[in-house]
Amino acid sequence: MNDLKLEDFPFITFDKVRYSDTDRQGHVNNAVFSVFLETGRVEFLYHPEHVLLNEGATFVIASLELMFENEIHWPGKVDIGTGIVSIGRSSMKLCQRIFQEGKAVGQAQTVIVQVAPEGKSKPLDEEAKAKLSKWMLNLES
């Protein structure tokens, strides 16, 4: 997945790099990479035009693997690509990549689980799975 470009992702958004995101070396602190990934995930998972959750359910992160590729610098913005790698019974695996000025700076794979109000996993219904399948990453090219 190291060769994925921004245009390869079915869902793309952006975030602003803030001065407060920088560390003593003048580049963006590594913890902020997770914030940028959150922007991409939240805008994707909770987008009002393609509601995915069953009523009363929420999404939680079961795992997050983040790889740093390059530094991010202020001022500027980052573009965040998000796509689905696989869909399970109550979960999905997302692939995300962050870019600044067209250069890949980080990527992550995240497992997201739908949970019921009592905190147990809740199966995705067929409608949600059909919607999710439209956001699959094409990894064969």
Among 3, 11, 2, smallest CA distance to 79 is for: 11
Q: What does the pLDDT read at residue 141?
A: 53
126: Cβ contacts below 8 Å, ≥ 6 apart? none
What's the angle, vertex CA 35, arms to CA 29 and CA 37, rounded to 5? 115
Angstrom distance (rounded) from CA 121 to CA 85: 19
Domain spans of the chain, in order of start: 6-133
Query: What's residue 50's pLDDT?
Result: 77
- pLDDT tens figures, 97-108: 999 999 999 999
Q: Which helix (H) or strand (E) holds 39?
A: helix 30-45
State the average pLDDT for the chain: 93
Residue 108 near residue 37 (C-beta atoms within 8 A): yes
pLDDT at res. 48:
82
Residue 63's pLDDT is 98
CATH level 3 topology of 6-133: Thiol Ester Dehydrase; Chain A (3.10.129)
What number of residues does the chain have? 141
Q: How many percent of the chain have pLDDT more than 90?
A: 81
For 26-37, what is the mean pLDDT?
94
pLDDT tens for each residue of 35-70:
999 999 999 998 888 778 878 899 999 999 999 999
